[in-house]
Amino acid sequence: MIRHWVQDVIEAAVASDGCDVADDLRRIVSIVRDSEQYMFRSPDLADLSEAMIEIESIDDLSRLLWDVAIAAGFQHATLFVLRQGSRGAFRQRICTSYPTSWINRFQERNYQFVDPIVAAAMSGQAPFSFSQAAGSGPVIDDFWKDANAHGIGRDGFCVPISTFDGSKIGVSFTFAPDVIEPKVRLARHRSDLTVIAHNAVEAFCFFARASYDGDSTLTSAELRYLHILMSSEDSATAGRPSHCSVTEAALQRSIIEKLQVRNIFHAVAVAAANKWFDDLPYDLSDVAHATAGRAEAS
């Protein structure tokens, strides 16, 4: 459960007070905390959370998260996929406001395997400040020095989120290198940012999943072909179903046109994400028979 900001404010005010007003204020805490509707501490963040309902693309989400970061006193925001989950691949895996120079550097140096924030988000479930992320030593120190040289601070806040389908996504907000009193700023906006992070992940999953708006219009032969591509150990020689009378090129062209996808591999992702293979009739190629390599019993 998210620790609500109202609880922080009131408990700090009445920590040493034993009179009736303390009990009354704690009662207010319980009412607000248990309310079905979350009440934002910051009106600006409340407005940005409301605006998330109206976004229409991944780019919109990236820009809105950056607006959230700025409104809360941070410099950058990043949403990053840690684990894909069972519903198929994401078309994009990162939304970020980081400068291109740092993105390129991050890729060049394979920093996703060094970044302590990525490691902590992968292994943990609770929101954490960057200072709580495990990791030390020359490699980590060099990473932070490189980040600082690109204008990226080492203080911030990250929310790791696991979804119902097994995917895991992190949302982080990073302070500028020269920010004053980052702990104070984070304490003020921690619960607001946690709620927004959950809303952002929900929006990201909606826009970034390889999905198709509607039921499958593919024939059994077309669906069988996609299944072969997905399950074959050698996709280059997977070919088309042996009983199919059309060419492989014709199959691909028909599938791509029907689903309005970029290529045949995108079509495979769409079919897997929408669980169309569950309805595929059994084929002889699916059968592993007990008599293989020996005489069949009469």
Residues 197 and 89 in one domain: yes
Residues 168 and 154 in one domain: yes
Residues 126 and 252 in one domain: no
In a domain, 55, yes or no: yes
Residues 35 and 46 in one domain: no
Range of the domain at 116: 40-208
The predicted-structure confidence for 246-297, as pLDDT tens digits, reads as follows: 578 888 888 888 887 777 887 887 787 777 888 777 766 666 766 656 655 5
Residues 94 and 152 in one domain: yes
CA 226 to CA 88: how far, in whole Å? 14
Structure confidence at residue 237 (pLDDT) = 47
CA 93 to CA 262: how far, in whole Å? 18
Q: Please indicate, yes or no, whether the overall pTM of this predicted structure exceeds 0.75.
A: no
The CATH number that applies at residue 58 is: 3.30.450.80
Q: Which region among 15-24, 71-80, 186-195 has the lowest average model confidence (pLDDT)?
A: 15-24
Range 72-85 average pLDDT: 94
In a domain, 291, yes or no: no
Residues 54 and 140 in one domain: yes
The predicted-structure confidence for 104-150, as pLDDT tens digits, reads as follows: 999 999 999 999 999 999 999 999 999 998 778 899 999 999 999 99
Domain count, the chain: 3
In a domain, 233, yes or no: yes
Q: Which amino acid is at 76?
A: H
Residues 63 and 163 in one domain: yes
Contact in structure between 261 and 267 (CB atoms under 8 Å)? yes
